[in-house]
Structure 1
Amino acid sequence: MPPTGDSKKVELGAIPEGNLRVNKPVAFTVHMNGARGMLDGKVVAPSGCEDDCFLVPIDEDLWALRFIPRENGIHQVHIRHNGVHIPESPFRVRVGQEGIDPTSVRTLGNGLKECKAGTQADFTVDTRNAGLGTLAVTIDGPSKVSMDCTEVEEGYKVRYTPLAPGDYFIIVKYNGNHIAGSPFKVRCTGTSATGYGEHETSSVIVETVTKQAGQKSQSLPAFRSDAKKVTCKGMGVQKAFLHKQNTFTVNCGDAGNNLLYVSIYGPKGPSDEVFVKHLGRHMYQVNYVLKEKGEYVLVVKWGDEHIPGSPFKVEAS
């Protein structure tokens, strides 16, 4: 809806530019210029998820807006005055490095052509020439799929297991933009598992690392760790709110060196999204989104061992 009346008077201060990073606060000012009423806003990340957005009045004529980006790429900042978008809303804010080129991302693998119900399929997303960014993979089809994404020499390998035959559509985006060929239509054959056949969506999001052509993968080192020394904090290990980003932190600082594994499983299968971010010094932040009410099982492992309390029972409502 175009701005009308007082909404035309409201202006956003300078849009932050340069060196904006994931998990670092981004702040704006909003000038009312004599307009009266309330402001509300939201921030849409490159993957389409909404980030938390805080709008608070400083005085009669000035508001502050703040959000913490969870992904690299272009974020859309929506600001409304009395329910009407202010001029030029939504605003575009880039988080992460310049020079990211989604058109250079390539895919390979039979998992983008065909699959079989109950059997794991896979494909690789080659990000070697794309720079740092946010890789988002969504699979729409007649069943949810069990899906994971792991780092490989060329970029990232996506493995998924469909549970019902039919047509699946695999959407691959880099920093919110479709890569070449996306969405991919994949025909699934085989026999359906009981209780499936309706439209379902599953997704995974990864913050990528820089890959270079000719870069060789290395074997894993011999880790020495003690999962009993890992600690968890946050509401997200006890209770979850539907359609919201639920968060908790995992502190592995005293537990040696290893890899952190997080997964959550509920009444209708795996969660649609689990996002793990390393904050430095073996401190991790985990965000996840749930869409169905019920009891979920949250598994957190440091290497091959469960951390204290895992598996956790999480009630979603």
Structure 2
Amino acid sequence: MAGREGSTAKFIPREEGLYAVDLTYDGHPVPGSPYMVEASLPPDPTKVKAHGPGLRGGLVGRPAEFTIDTKGAGTGGLGLTVEGPCEAKIECSDNGDGTCSVSYLPTKPGEYFVNILFEEVHIPGSPFKADIEMPFDPSKVVASGPGLEHGKVGEAGLLSVDCSEAGPGALGLEAVSDSGAKAEVCIENNKDGTYAVTYVPLTAGMYTLTMNSEYWGGKLKCLQRSGQVEENSPVFSASVGGDHIKAHIANPSGASTECFVTDNAEGTYQVEYTPFEKGLHVVEVTYDDVPVPNSPFKVAVTEGCQPSRVQAQGPGLKEAFTNKPNVFTVVTRGAGIGGLGITVEGPSESKINCRDNKDGSCSAEYVPFAPGDYDVNMTYGGAHIPGKLSF
């Protein structure tokens, strides 16, 4: 369209890619010509695809992975959230070919929902439902009850077996005397990860109770205990006070935590310990080496999340350059367990890559495509970390 001071030209690109626009005036190139123009498709969330095992399920404490494919979907912002019984740390990496590798780390079992949005619109299939289960760990099986210590011929020995932290499986038990006689065994599944077990010895003697859990087609021995079965049930008496009480605390890692037992000289004892690990601790209390009622006790130790302790540092938080990676580090040591979120807002979309350094810190980088003022927003456990980062 001709004007008094200039002209306007329009063109419609038929495919995405880099175009060279040549401008001439009376057959002579205009200064700066040819101009390079990149054409991209308009954003279309319906063309974004996601696939991978992490969208269907996974195991507690292990990364659940999946891939997002944005090829042919145009240019747009990608949003990821994971909702479930706990905050799940998300890591994403741009593969440079229109796909993105994503993983999240669930720390509790249950039902999780993975939300994937493109230009703030859910992609097909989102939110994805993922069932997270406890990993196979026979050391987490806990058995308790009088049937582990003594029994009586013709009467049922009772015990409770807790497999809720050991992963899915089927429990088995065999009670065999030193003479080879087998007791009748009944196992009742309580449908909550625990089992009520009874066995009826038919002869007196020393019995060995062998428990096993069947997982993935194989059997692994979880517990083996021996107890005396007599014609009459044994009884015992004890005086108050003295070194009768002992305690042992087992950490989730299998190590032990030091504890201190104090005789209050009034018929009670005080036990003190300081846990240093997050997770289920097993506290065993015995009186003259015999477990007290309900021992072992299970204590869940949790760790709080304090975003105010998170620190961010690096050159990428002070100044940045277009079309180049701008790096910085986020330190979460001492801030507890929480999900880290990073967004960069400014004149253009920025590609963001995050890498867990496995030492309580995360290395991050972003690539802006246009000059201007940018804000780097960081959250931990859903709350902003101290300070507003802009340049």
TM-score, normalising length: structure 2: 0.34
Structure index of larger Rg: 2
TM-score by length of 1: 0.41
